[in-house]
Structure 1
Amino acid sequence: MSDIQRVDLFVIGGGINGAGIARDAAGRGLSVILCEKDDLAQGTSSRSGKLVHGGLRYLEYYEFRLVREALIEREVLLNSACHIVWPMRFVLPHSPDDRPAWLVRLGLFLYDHLGGRKKLPGTRTLDLARDPEGAPILDSYSRGFEYSDCWVDDARLVVLNAVGAAEKGAEILTRTACTSARREDGHWRIEMRDQATGSTRTVEARALVNAGGPWVNDIVGRVAGSNSRRNVRLVKGSHIIVPKFWEGQHAYLVQNHDKRVIFINPYEGDKALIGTTDIPYEGPPEEVRAEAFEIDYLLAAVNRYFKEKLRPDDVIESFSGVRPLFDDGQGNPSAVTRDYTFDLDETAGVPLLNVFGGKITTFRKLSEHAIEKIAKFFPEMGGNWTRESVLPGGEIDGADFVGFAESLRTSYPWMPRSLVYHYGRLYGARTEKLVAGATSLDGLGRHFGAGFYEAEARYLVDKEWAMTPDDILKRRTKHGLHLSADEQAGFADWFDGERARAA
């Protein structure tokens, strides 16, 4: 008798789509393994513009179904994870040289009403010469609009879906490459390799989901030995981080000369996140970098509207991600659909579901649709369940983060306000597990700087699959943006020492 483990569903890819599908399937009672060759969210899903939004500009391309679905999902996510998803107001200065004002007003009217908006305030018109939001804007722009969307900690959204999947029984394997998947005797025979140790493992699965993002076609051919009639188009999007140069928590959306829009968002308190570009990309996705001409492009877009002029030496950090967009034949990268589609290969009654495209806002609906595509192979599984559920940490009464944060301050009077809000924003109702009974800052262990304590690092290793300093500093938190080079090196030395002692 074979002792090889057999599961219902094997998911390749630890980005937002793979983690969302794994959580959805596990919650329906399926046995699930998720396999990711790097860290969770290490690719595209940690390199987004950090927005849960309907996609205002998609209206220009008549993507009404996608915009409506995204607007509905915006409120679903706001209810399910209010600690990592929160409302943000966007100021759109109007340039008469670009889209006419009537077209902008029409788009914003549709945006307000397509998705059954309930929680977020609607659009209003601004007098930029009088309203405080216009203070940093050049005097030549006198009219503006303000509308609502939401911010999201994208990498944490991925990790929390993986945590949710694991709590429903899924096995999450990071830094584990799927090297081969072949149909054999009515199931998939799948081989994996641990990237750190080189050890191999074989499992069997009734169905395989390929949520490889930019690597989806490579997985179809090289790993699964299959073919797909669909393809992805790789488009690079780059962002820059600069010191914040305006007062208030609102963001800005500006139109560049080429009709593209650029987001200028408050980030990590005292910084701004600016992006994105849209450039066809043909290289290896793991080697993508923001190039100098992209940085110049983003700076020029900002300087077209703002009194304070940004220079290249203002850029604290830049990053770039490869968006795996479904190739719909559009020549202009900005016009390529952000919608998603599936390719289901049912050869020999052993299904392979390939996922193409998608955006972070609609991941939950994509996951639901993916499971529906393979539902006939699992007549025993449960029905849809994720719409009314909360993500780990989102168990907050009334989805009221401010009230929750104030209750945390009451529970931990010895903790600085900034630390209370940091823990509340990242861990929500799980903060108690992180603090683990500490009654003083000393109880949180070593302080690495900028509000980063040993207890948080240990929690991320124990509960969220963190295996390297970057897993913590860049993805599960943004401490890397606040620690000095010496402080980061000190943390890395401590972390490596702890890992060595645990080995």
Structure 2
Amino acid sequence: MTDIPMVDLFVIGGGINGAGIARDAAGRGLKVILCEKDDLAQGTSSRSGKLVHGGLRYLEYYEFRLVREALIEREVLLNSASHIIWPMRFVLPHSPQDRPAWLVRLGLFLYDHLGGRKKLPGTRSLDLRRDPEGAPILDQYTRGFEYSDCWVDDARLVVLNAVGAAEKGAEILTRTACTSARRENGQWRVEMRDERTGATRTVLARCLINAGGPWVNDIVGRVAGSNSRRNVRLVKGSHIIVPKFWDGDHAYLVQNHDKRVIFINPYEGDKALIGTTDIPYEGRPEEVKADESEVEYLLAAVNRYFKEKLRRSDVIETFSGVRPLFDDGQGNPSAVTRDYTFDLDETGGAPLLNIFGGKITTFRKLAEHAVQKVGKFFPNMGPDWTAGSKLPGGEIENADFVAFTEKMREAYPWLPRGLLHHYGHLYGARMTKLLAGATSMDGLGRHFGAKLYEAEVRHVVNNEWALSAEDVLFRRTKQGLHMSPAERETFAQWFDGELLRAA
């Protein structure tokens, strides 16, 4: 027993909640291991609507506490990582058939004031016949509103939290399944298996945190051999990606006949991200995909408002995620709370904290609350610290990304503007590490297509746990969306060959 290493906290799940908890706890001086069976953010956390937002529609369900917390967190996160999180204006064409104007105005008034908004501009009314934002909208919609929220690169938000956790001393294990966790003499005996090599490893942990997302109940029962009085409700949300069909960097939010709202957001420069659906899901989370009925639903919602009609052939890509919502007994999936709840089992003096629900925007607060929840078992741990801290790469003066990019243009005059913005938005102040030693484009190495160069690939492999071509193309850089099938295949062959040679 004495030969088995001991940690304070063992976190299962490498999504946004698990990565946030690992960073928070490691920054308080706890010894932490995070274990993820796949890649970081491979599940739900890379398949969101890419928004840091208060949740305007949650006001209809009287979720005032959640909306207030999310609105406050919106500005906290904006200050912490202005390279991957930035303000976006949303245009809401008013449809009198769905919600009366007074209700929309009231909701937007509350949205502007509940969270103590400081940085983002407030709501304004639009005349869609006159204002340029109304140009692509059908003539029958004459009134609209414009309000603020923020965009986020969700997968990178997870990765940066994991990087931050590692820099505070946490051990991050990807492609590593937690196969068993059993209480033993007031602590947890945890067994893991490397999914690539089959090698096994055992550690002891004083506390276990289950941040498994859609797999949370499976981990409670099958892995930890425990029970929980809470339950998770799986709801599928699907998105489609199409060519961008309007001018400007603003987004749109449209109301559908079923009272759901659909986001139509600029994505990756020349594309649009449209979603989401809300459908009960009972399958395996790893097998989730968008159904044709969902694709048609999203297309129909957009075509109800816009002059340019989208067709099925316009859909470049689809993706679907399973949201692990806390089951509060609501029948309508859209009404199920997006709030989070904890279940702490202290049996035998070996605590197990199960996490149910949550959303991207409130991950930092969830992580802080989770570590506070188990704090009584670690009387010497440090205080709350993440609210005023920067995420890796976010060390940008005054969180002013525009000023930062101008400074980088002076430092790297040979770097094309588009590539500089790409590196700036993904790596922020850490882009200097990626570009270390390069004095010309030749220094970036092989070009694989779009904005993907060898230097960036090696950076995410060496510093961000990228272990497959898919990790690089779709979760670390998104460049797979801009490359041809042949370019992606060539890159995959090179990447696998490089890994084999490195091994």
CA distance in structure 2 between the aligned counterparts of 1:235 and 1:213, rounded to whole angstroms: 12
CA distance in structure 1 between the aligned counterparts of 2:476 and 2:4, rounded to whole angstroms: 33
CA distance in structure 1 between the aligned counterparts of 2:46 and 2:406, rounded to whole angstroms: 29
CA distance in structure 2 between the aligned counterparts of 1:451 and 1:465, rounded to whole angstroms: 20
Equivalent residue for 1:420? 420
Correspondence list, 1:25-44, <5 A: 25-44=25-44
Equivalent residue for 2:108? 108
The alignment status of 1:359 with 2:359, answered yes or no, reads yes
Equivalent residue for 2:57? 57
Correspondence list, 1:429-448, <5 A: 429-448=429-448
Q: What is the CA distance between 1:489 and its match in structure 2? A: 1.0
Deviations 1:257-286 (A, max 9, x none): 000000000000000000000000000000
Equivalent residue for 1:493? 493
Correspondence list, 1:146-165, <5 A: 146-165=146-165
Equivalent residue for 2:271? 271
Correspondence list, 1:232-271, <5 A: 232-271=232-271
Deviations 1:346-396 (A, max 9, x none): 001110000000000000000000011100000010000000000000000
CA distance in structure 2 between the aligned counterparts of 1:460 and 1:400, rounded to whole angstroms: 24
> Could you say what secondary structure the match of 1:241 adopts?
strand
The AA in structure 2 aligned to 1:196 is R
Q: TM-score of the superposition, structure 2-length normalised?
A: 1.00
Deviations 1:393-418 (A, max 9, x none): 00000000011011111110001000
Equivalent residue for 1:334? 334
Where do 4+ consecutive residues of structure 1 move more than 2 Å? none
CA distance in structure 2 between the aligned counterparts of 1:300 and 1:486, rounded to whole angstroms: 32
Deviations 1:437-492 (A, max 9, x none): 20000000000111210000000000000000000101011000001111111111
> Could you say what secondary structure the match of 2:388 adopts?
coil
Q: What is the CA distance between 1:314 and its match in structure 2? A: 0.3
Equivalent residue for 2:310? 310
The alignment status of 1:11 with 2:11, answered yes or no, reads yes
CA distance in structure 1 between the aligned counterparts of 2:296 and 2:451, rounded to whole angstroms: 33
State, as a whole percentage, how many aligned pairs show the same letter. 83
CA distance in structure 1 between the aligned counterparts of 2:253 and 2:126, rounded to whole angstroms: 14
The alignment status of 1:84 with 2:84, answered yes or no, reads yes
Q: TM-score of the superposition, structure 1-length normalised?
A: 1.00
CA distance in structure 1 between the aligned counterparts of 2:368 and 2:177, rounded to whole angstroms: 25
CA distance in structure 2 between the aligned counterparts of 1:186 and 1:502, rounded to whole angstroms: 42
The AA in structure 2 aligned to 1:145 is F
Equivalent residue for 1:211? 211
CA distance in structure 1 between the aligned counterparts of 2:92 and 2:437, rounded to whole angstroms: 46
Correspondence list, 1:72-221, <5 A: 72-221=72-221
The AA in structure 2 aligned to 1:58 is Y
Gap runs ≥5 in structure 1: none
Count of residue correspondences: 503
CA distance in structure 1 between the aligned counterparts of 2:471 and 2:291, rounded to whole angstroms: 24
Equivalent residue for 2:389? 389
The alignment status of 1:298 with 2:263, answered yes or no, reads no
Alpha-carbon RMSD across the aligned residues, in angstroms, is 0.5
Deviations 1:118-176 (A, max 9, x none): 00000000000000000000000000000000000000000000000000000000000
> Could you say what secondary structure the match of 1:11 adopts?
strand
Q: What is the CA distance between 1:2 and its match in structure 2? A: 2.4
Gap runs ≥5 in structure 2: none
The alignment status of 1:454 with 2:459, answered yes or no, reads no
Equivalent residue for 1:69? 69
Equivalent residue for 1:287? 287
The AA in structure 2 aligned to 1:435 is L
CA distance in structure 2 between the aligned counterparts of 1:450 and 1:436, rounded to whole angstroms: 21
The AA in structure 2 aligned to 1:9 is L
> Could you say what secondary structure the match of 1:90 adopts?
strand
CA distance in structure 1 between the aligned counterparts of 2:451 and 2:113, rounded to whole angstroms: 41
CA distance in structure 1 between the aligned counterparts of 2:440 and 2:488, rounded to whole angstroms: 24
CA distance in structure 2 between the aligned counterparts of 1:19 and 1:424, rounded to whole angstroms: 22
The AA in structure 2 aligned to 1:329 is G
CA distance in structure 1 between the aligned counterparts of 2:332 and 2:407, rounded to whole angstroms: 49
Deviations 1:319-364 (A, max 9, x none): 0000000000000000000000000000011100000000000000
CA distance in structure 1 between the aligned counterparts of 2:304 and 2:473, rounded to whole angstroms: 33
CA distance in structure 2 between the aligned counterparts of 1:491 and 1:441, rounded to whole angstroms: 19
CA distance in structure 1 between the aligned counterparts of 2:502 and 2:125, rounded to whole angstroms: 58
CA distance in structure 2 between the aligned counterparts of 1:12 and 1:120, rounded to whole angstroms: 35
Equivalent residue for 1:482? 482
The AA in structure 2 aligned to 1:466 is A
> Could you say what secondary structure the match of 2:361 adopts?
helix
